[in-house]
């Protein structure tokens, strides 16, 4: 079993089929304009901060320390995917907790000038544990779950795996 990553947590809240595809290294169209815009926003935003920190199997967009406390930031291009983004960030906080590091989180949406605080609560932690369990079940299936039309399909870089 591969490690659960923040990306798999994100996809879990967007589309179960994407979880399987990503976990089996079937990557989306890397030239998809929506992916390119997201990469550009992440690269150009918060230039003075320490970005793309890898810790084990997680990759954190940015981290800073103020007044002896760590703040983990996750940069997104819009708030359209707020729930998946919050859960991805909560997963990073959960992983850091496993390493004995206490941190707070902030979802950063530069285009909208939004900062959304995320704290790892007991409720969020329990939801993550359930998501992790379900992700493992999905990944261990022989085939991906069948495609299901959702509000996210329109701009999905995986759409050719489902609807072509």
Residue-wise pLDDT for 21-57, tens only, equals: 989 988 776 565 555 555 555 556 555 555 678 888 8
Question: What's the confidence (pLDDT) of residue 1?
Answer: 47
Strand 103-109 and strand 50-55: the pairing is unpaired
Percent of the chain at pLDDT > 90 equals 50
List the alpha helices (DSSP H) in 1-150.
6-12, 16-23, 33-44, 82-98, 122-139
Which of 59-68, 73-82, 111-120 has the least mean pLDDT?
59-68
- How sure is the predictor about 10, in pLDDT bands with cuts at 50, 70 and 90? very high
Strand 103-109 and strand 114-118: the pairing is antiparallel
- CATH dotted code for 6-162: 3.90.320.10
Give the mean pLDDT of 88-115. Answer: 93
Structure tokens at 149: 């039309």
Q: How many residues does the chain have?
A: 164
Angle formed by the axes of helices 82-98 and 122-139, to 10°?
100
Structure tokens at 40: 């550009």
pTM: 0.83
Asked if residue 41 lies in contact with residue 111, where contact means CB atoms within 8 angstroms, the answer is yes
Residue 148: pLDDT over 80: yes
Which of 26-30, 53-57, 90-94, 124-128 has the least mean pLDDT?
26-30
Residue 164: pLDDT over 90: no
Going from N- to C-terminal start, the domains of the chain cover 6-162
The C-alpha atoms of residue 71 and residue 101 are separated, in whole angstroms, by 11
- What lies within 8 Å, CB to CB, of 138 at 6+ separation is 12, 16, 19, 20, 23, 145
């Amino acid at each position: 079993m591969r490690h659960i990553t923040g990306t798999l947590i994100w996809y879990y809240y967007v589309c179960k089929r994407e979880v399987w595809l990503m976990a089996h290294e079937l990557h989306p169209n890397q030239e998809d304009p929506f992916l390119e815009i997201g990469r550009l926003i992440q690269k150009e935003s918060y230039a003075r901060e320490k970005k793309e920190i890898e810790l084990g199997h997680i990759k954190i967009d940015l981290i800073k320390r103020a007044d002896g406390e760590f703040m983990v930031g996750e940069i997104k291009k819009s708030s359209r995917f707020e729930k998946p983004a919050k859960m991805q960030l909560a997963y990073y906080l959960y992983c850091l907790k496993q390493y004995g590091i206490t941190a707070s989180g902030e979802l950063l949406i530069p285009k909208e000038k939004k900062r959304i605080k995320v704290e790892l609560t007991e409720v969020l932690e329990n939801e993550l544990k359930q998501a992790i369990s379900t992700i493992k079940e999905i990944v261990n299936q022989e085939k991906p779950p069948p495609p299901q039309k959702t509000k996210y399909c329109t701009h999905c870089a995986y759409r050719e795996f489902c609807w072509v």
